[in-house]
């Protein structure tokens, strides 16, 4: 009896672990990935400083609660996950047809803003626009 109960308890714990481990990555839906994006400044994410250079940026959507993230990667390795925020279009004439990526820097606040737009022809998430802010260092 003790062996059967132990096996059942172990199987139940294993099932719970696998169930929740499988749910976490499945919740992040990839939208688009830009490869070899040149980031012209050294930037901060939390306590880490990343040197200027080429990075892969993968944009993700989490459905519940609705939020947007960018995965910062280099040579296939995930360096950081940064949360952004969606903002609506003011005018339909400014919507690109294909996914676009724009960067601008605010010199006063030392913030690099990355804006991702999915475009009007995107299959999964059309008409999406999200921004992400990174602190940066001047040379």
**Tell me: the pLDDT tens digits for 81-93?**
999 999 887 777 7
Instruction: Tell whether 69 is covered by a domain.
Output: yes
pLDDT interval class at 10 (50, 70, 90): low
Instruction: Tell whether 13 is covered by a domain.
Output: no
Instruction: Tell whether 4 is covered by a domain.
Output: no
**Domain residues for 85?**
29-137
Domain count, the chain: 1
Q: How far is CA 30 from CA 25, 91, 123, in A?
A: 10, 26, 12
pLDDT score for 17: 61
Burial 52-69 (b: 16+ CB within 10 A, else e): eeebbbbbbbeeeeeebb
Residue 29 β-bridge partners: 61
pTM given for the model: 0.76
Instruction: Tell whether 133 is covered by a domain.
Output: yes
**Does residue 128 surpass a pLDDT of 80?**
yes
pLDDT tens profile 17-73: 655 554 444 478 899 999 999 999 999 888 889 999 999 999 999 988 889 999 999
Instruction: Tell whether 35 is covered by a domain.
Output: yes
Instruction: Tell whether 19 is covered by a domain.
Output: no
Instruction: Tell whether 8 is covered by a domain.
Output: no
pLDDT score for 23: 47
First to last CA, the chain: 70
Residue 55 β-bridge partners: 37
Q: Are 71 and 114 in contact (CB under 8 A)?
A: no
């Amino acid at each position: 009896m003790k062996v059967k109960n132990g096996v059942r308890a172990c199987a139940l714990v294993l099932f719970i672990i696998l169930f929740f481990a499988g749910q976490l990555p499945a919740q992040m839906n990839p939208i688009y990935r830009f490869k070899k994006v040149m980031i012209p400044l050294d930037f901060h994410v939390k306590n880490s400083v990343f040197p200027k250079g080429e990075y892969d940026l993968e944009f993700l959507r989490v459905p519940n609660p609705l939020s947007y993230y960018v995965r910062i990667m280099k040579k296939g390795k995930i360096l950081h996950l940064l949360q952004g925020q969606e903002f609506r279009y003011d005018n339909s004439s400014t919507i690109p047809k294909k996914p676009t990526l724009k960067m601008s820097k605010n010199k006063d606040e030392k913030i690099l803003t990355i804006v991702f737009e999915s475009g009007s022809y995107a299959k999964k998430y059309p008409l999406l626009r999200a921004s992400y802010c990174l602190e940066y260092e001047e040379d």
